[in-house]
Structure 1
Amino acid sequence: MKYAREGSLIDMVVALAAFPRTALPDRARRLAGLSLLDWMACGLAAVDEPLAIKLRRLIGDEAGRGVASVLGGRAAPARAAALVNGATSHALDYDDTHFAHIGHLSVGIYPAALAAGEERGATATQVVDAFLLGAESAIRIGLVLGSAHYNLGFHQTATAGAFGATVAAGRLYGLDEGQMRAALGLCATRASGLKSQFGTMGKPYNAGIAASNGVECAALAALGMSSADDGLMGVQGFVPTHSPKPDASAGLMPPPEEAFLFGDNKYKLHACCHGTHAMIEAIIGSEDLKGSDLGNVAGLEVRANPRWLRVCDLKTPRTGLEVKFSYAWLAGMAIRGDRTGDDGIYTNETASDTALADFAGKVTVTGDDRLSDMQAGLTVTLRDGTRLELAHDLDAVLPEQMLADKLRNKAEALLGTAGQTLWQRFEDLDGVTARDLGAFLGSRES
């Protein structure tokens, strides 16, 4: 399927939603399958998080027709299940990121795709295809919104991601072209999410909002609800009202197989904000630094893209959750060899660790707009005066089998034998249904 460069954004998204399965690029589909397993592992590992418990209580009090599985709970209406599963799977902040628009795709889109897929009796591969097209749509809408949208304070996971969730759910609900356009218009008046929530339960809630909005808007469009003809770029549409400097052509690149942007998706191997991962990798990749005594470091300068300074530069984290957004704390943890890939170490005790607090006073973080979102540069001064210059770029592509192995190890670290079972059952999705996936997610109730 071809797209004209002159086409409108909403026309392209509607066309993407109907993209034939046979034309989907194989590598992007394989990565989407890895994202499914990674998303499921992150969600299952977070079922006992306070946020997850509160949201299960919320939807339990509302009740409704149980057609979709809920992480750690009983089946619920599709929209409610998407809300809980989206927020729960982002609660550990251990899910994947696409840096082209700075958004977490899986946690906002897979919950919508799975809920709609269970409700409609879809296969697991249909869920993966719907996710992939929703993710591709979210990336392209996010590119149009641009960095100005993110820097203004909007959380792309919840804003652009809501449109991706709408595409995914709408595809599984079988919306026609007019209905899909209406669903996207409805999403334009629903999509929301602010970065001011970072470091609180409000951040993962943003992912749940995206997923829930996608299911709701697709379901309403299926019922015949009307909306603005062009809720994206039209007069007072989402883009002109939510970005002071949109780039109207950024998302309109024609997507032949080799140009699917989802292929650049990145996966977390440390259980903290993705903006800190390049710094952590630079530290643990240094034989001179990793495992060193914190007292042996006289000073550490971290250089990162300026946008991250508003996200993950908390100087004095008060909770384990806030530690995940603190360059200074995480630098100390990485240097002394803490297992930053183990979510269990991000506790309130870690936030009050006096050794880390003392080390944080040696850390300066500066913005450098010459660095991309995936790069970090470090200057380390040791107590004897030695200076180390370190750098890392997350854009380096891992071979697929190496990535799969790392994600399998991550699932096992999070879930133990359940992580092994997850990969054994669902690495090959032939013959698997959406309800099979949902049954596995809902198998642990609390």
Structure 2
Amino acid sequence: MTATDGETDTAAQIARFVASLREQPLPRAVADMAKQSLVDWFAVCFAALEDREARLAAETIHAWRSQGEAVAFDGRTGSAAPIALINGTFAHALDFDDFHLASVHHVGAPTFAAAMALGMDRGLGGAEVLRAFVAGFEVGVRWGMNGTGVALADAGWHPTAVMGTLSSAAACATLLQLDETHIERGVNFAASQVAGLMASAGSIAKPLLVGKAACSGVMSATLAASGALPPPGLLQQEKGVLSVLFQRRIDPPYPPLDGEWQSLQNTFKPYAACQLTHASIDAARQLAAQISPDDILTVHACVNPLAPKVASHRSPRTPLQAKFSLTHCIAMSLLGHSALPQDFTDESVNAPETTRLRDRIEIVTLEQIGRASARLQVTLKSGQQIVQDVAAAAGSPERPMSMEATAGKFMQSATPLLGKDAGRLLETLKNFEHAGAMEAVARLMKATCAL
């Protein structure tokens, strides 16, 4: 296959990196971050099993009656691609999943969905899946760096639907041990399938886009392995996918795959809402300890300009819309809620005290405020003004969640489903590189089928 122009170097660079990663041990910190990402992925998928629309999506896909050894989080099995679609949807259904801030990419949701499904279906081990995740992470996030991920979101594209396809394809190519030629083909297959509208935020369509990215990654790598030929040049500058999405040349199209491990910059969410609401939630929770909601006259929320574009639902009517509503997340936090999955219900979204407080909140955008920062200026009915600044939201790179905190998140989600087996599964995930871990995990995932 002959590529053209800038794509030759980009595709070849990706192929060389993915192929070379098989030949070297992962740095300890990178391997540990991969395992923490896996624990978090399981936590958010288990939590999503109570989501009605995610379960409806899973039922629809199971009706295809695929056959294979991959296990979905509802305990049923099938072939790798549809199970990746199901699990990727579960992973993003609550918007509680991991996030790479620089690229605006929820890497774990599609990448682990693809790698776990293909790994189970092919009888591969946990160590291979962890290595595949790292490969997918490093390859995928670079597509969104240098401001490209932010620009995608600003233009109305869902960054994870774009980058997640490449992340998943690179992970699956690693699992299949493809040579450089076939990796390049897999990357081009992946590039041919990207898209997804940010306007889907606040509906089941958005997590389905993430599941589709995982499914497309499986298909891309397995098609390349079969000898199928994609169109060349889909990552080049002039006519490549990003230039098409933006309708202008993107330069540079892809940062070098060397230097810092971007996987060490992965972050995990303490709140089950859009990451762009997290700093405001932090500030509101701090204010809730100082003032009564009944005393509030107005709230001015000063945030990054991207925040109201993504978290845009001013008056949400459903729990999914509420997760993408700055005004709702601030109001519920001022009312003492913790912004966990159980706080986003039909009742809480439409509660009179919440809607009244939402109407008192004004969003102000300031370029100098970072995406993990916020300032809330509260004016009380007495005339007193209180300001609460958050320089770095909980879970952001400056205030990262520890493995212990992520394990706590996992236990909250898994214990209602698995009982005492939740602790056993957690230990297995923490030691996922050990022989037999994948089989043990598959057995415990099947235990959820009784739901």
Structure-2-length-normalised TM-score: 0.91
Give the aligned residue type for 1:110.
F
Q: Is the 8 A contact 2:281 2:330 kept in 1?
A: yes
The equivalent residue for 1:283 is 284
How far the C-alpha of 1:191 sits from its partner, in A, is 1.6
Residue 162 of structure 1 is matched in structure 2 by 165
Superimposed CA distance per residue, residues 172-217 of structure 1 (whole angstroms, 9 cap, x where no aligned partner): 0121111111111111111221111100110110110000000011
C-alpha offsets along residues 26-81 of structure 1, whole Å, 9 cap, x if unaligned?
22221111010110111122224223322332233221322211110321010011
Compared CA separation, residues 357 and 52, structure 1 to 2 (3 A): closer
Give 1:415 deviation, angstroms. Answer: 2.8
Q: How does 1:203-282 map to 2 (within 5 A)?
A: 203-233=206-236, 235-244=238-247, 247-249=250-252, 251-256=254-259, 259-282=260-283
* Cα shift at 1:246: 5.9
CA distance in 2, matches of 1:245, 1:370: 27
- Per-residue CA deviation, residues 271-299 of structure 1 (Å, 9 max, x unaligned), is 11111111111232x3x543632112221
Task: State the one-letter code of the partner of 1:435.
Answer: E
1:380-417: CA deviations, max 9, x gaps? 22232222222221345347xx6112112212222334
Q: 1:363 aligns with which of 331, 351, 361?
A: 361
Q: Amino acid of the residue matched to residue 164 of structure 2?
A: G
More deviation, 229-238/219-228: 229-238
Residue of 179, 182, 199 corresponding to 1:176: 179
- Asked if the contact 2:19–2:178 (Cα under 8 Å) also holds between the matched residues in 1, the reply is no
The answer to whether the Cα contact below 8 Å between 1:319 and 1:351 also exists between their aligned partners in 2 is yes
State the secondary structure of the residue aligned to 1:424. helix
Q: CA–CA distance in 2 between the matches of 1:251 and 1:238?
A: 12
Equivalent residue of 2:144, what SS? Answer: helix
What is the CA distance between 1:125 and its match in structure 2? 1.7
**Structure 2, unaligned runs of 5 or more:** 1-5
- Cα offset, 1:159, TM superposition: 0.7
Which AA in structure 1 matches 2:284? I
**1:304 and 1:365 in contact (8 A); partners too:** yes
- Distance across 2 between alignment mates of 1:118 and 1:298: 55
Q: Partners in 2 of 1:49 and 1:291 — Cα distance?
A: 34
* Residues 129-168 of structure 1 deviation map (CA, whole Å, 9 limit, x = unaligned): 1111101111101226443222111111111110000000
SS at match of 2:117: helix
Give the deviation of 1:235 after TM superposition: 4.7
Counterpart of 2:64 (choices 62, 65, 72) is 62
2:352 is equivalent to residue 354 of structure 1: yes
Deviations 1:97-151 (A, max 9, x none): 1111211111111010111111222221211111111011111012264432221
Conserved 8 A contact 1:37-1:422 = no
RMSD: 2.2
Which one of the candidate residues 46, 49, 52 is aligned to 1:50?
52
Q: How many residues align?
A: 435
Distance 1:146 1:328, change over 3 A: closer
| Counterpart selection for 1:75 from 71, 74, 77 | 77
Superposed, 1:408-419 pairs within 5 Å as: 408-416=407-415, 417=419, 419=422
Displacement of 1:437 after TM fit?
A: 2.7
Q: TM-score, normalised by structure 1?
A: 0.92
- The letter of the residue matching 1:316 is S
Determine helix, strand or coil for the equivalent of 1:377: strand
Match of 1:435 in 2: 439
Partner of 2:298: 299
Would the aligned equivalents of 1:163 and 1:187 in 2 still touch at CA under 8 Å?
yes
Q: Contact conserved, 1:300 with 1:379, CA < 8 A, in 2?
A: yes
| Structure 1 equivalent of residue 13 of structure 2 | 12
Q: Report the Cα distance in structure 2 between the residues aligned to 1:435 and 1:91, rounded to whole angstroms.
A: 26
Q: Is the CA contact (8 Å cut-off) linking 2:102 and 2:149 kept in structure 1?
A: no
User: What corresponds to 1:122 in structure 2?
Assistant: 124
Change (3 A) 1:313 1:219: same
User: For residues 161 and 266 of structure 1, what CA distance do their matches in structure 2 show?
Assistant: 16
- Residue 377 (structure 1) aligns with: 375
- State the Cα deviation string for residues 342-369 of structure 1 (Å, max 9, x = none): x112111112111011111110112111
Aligned equivalents of 2:331, 2:318: Cα separation in 1: 16
Q: Structure 1 pair 290/31, CA: closer, same or farther in 2 (3 Å)?
A: same
